[in-house]
Amino acid sequence: MLVVALTAQIVRAEEKKEPARWKTRVEISYTNSSGNSEAEALSGKLETKREGEVNRYFVKANVFRTQDDNEETANKWLADIRWERVLQKRLFAFIAADYLKDKFSGFEYRFGAGPGLGYDIYKTDRHSLKGLLGIYYYHEEFSKGPRNKDDYIAGKASLNYEWQIFKNVKFQEDLSYLVSFKDTQKYFVNSETAVEFAIQKNFSFRVSYTVAYQNESPSPDVKNSDRVFFTSLIIDF
């Protein structure tokens, strides 16, 4: 009878345990000016994730487009997907893939995929710091420059930090470094620094600053770095 009672308690506890649900976030930023010059900028981002006890899934996609006097001056598309598998309390393995299309930076497209390991370095109610190390295969096709394409194996290191400063204010920093093993002078550094202000339960206001640096541009007329400042409205559901 004791075994039956214990089994029933375990079953009831498992029934009460809710499975991890998908969380989705939409971020929109739009500006339009007219007068002496016509300028328009649009940025959109979609994020969805599911963080279970063993398996965690992350999907991101964003677009950034600008026009000045009806002439397109920026058109960037980004997407990445990552599956994490928890191995120990803080250690996890992952498989990830990312895609970039940015003709103004010299890329018709760039695609990369590969495995890696990650570690939850620090995690409390207010702070979280995650580090990832991976090995990727990349294929690039260029929209500018003397070469048409490139293939290489690369190493990628990333840090993701969040700080819940107050109940309605959050600071975030995402930093990544990607280097080609074929040519170590070919490397990329990406940073996004942001502060979020919660307005209501499902709405937030976000201020962010992004830097995308490439040490070797595909063409001499392509600048090494792009810097963009965003103010965005966020919807969570």
**Is residue 65 included in any domain, yes or no?**
no
**Is residue 181 included in any domain, yes or no?**
yes
**Is residue 33 included in any domain, yes or no?**
no
- Name the pLDDT band for 32 (thresholds 50, 70, 90): confident
Does pLDDT of 3 surpass 60? no
- Name the pLDDT band for 7 (thresholds 50, 70, 90): very low
Q: Which domain holds residue 120?
A: 72-236
Per-residue pLDDT, 39 = 82
Could you tell me which residue, 119 or 7, shows the higher pLDDT? 119
Sorted by sequence, the CB contacts under 8 Å of residue 116 that are 6+ apart come out as 93, 94, 95, 96, 132, 133, 134, 135, 156
* DSSP tag of 19: P
Per-residue pLDDT, 9 = 45
State the average pLDDT for the chain: 91
**Per the structure, how many domains does the chain have?**
1
**Is residue 122 included in any domain, yes or no?**
yes
**150-172 average pLDDT score:** 97
**Is residue 5 included in any domain, yes or no?**
no
- Name the pLDDT band for 17 (thresholds 50, 70, 90): low
Sorted by sequence, the CB contacts under 8 Å of residue 5 that are 6+ apart come out as none
**158-162 average pLDDT score:** 98
Does pLDDT of 216 surpass 80? yes
**80-97 average pLDDT score:** 97
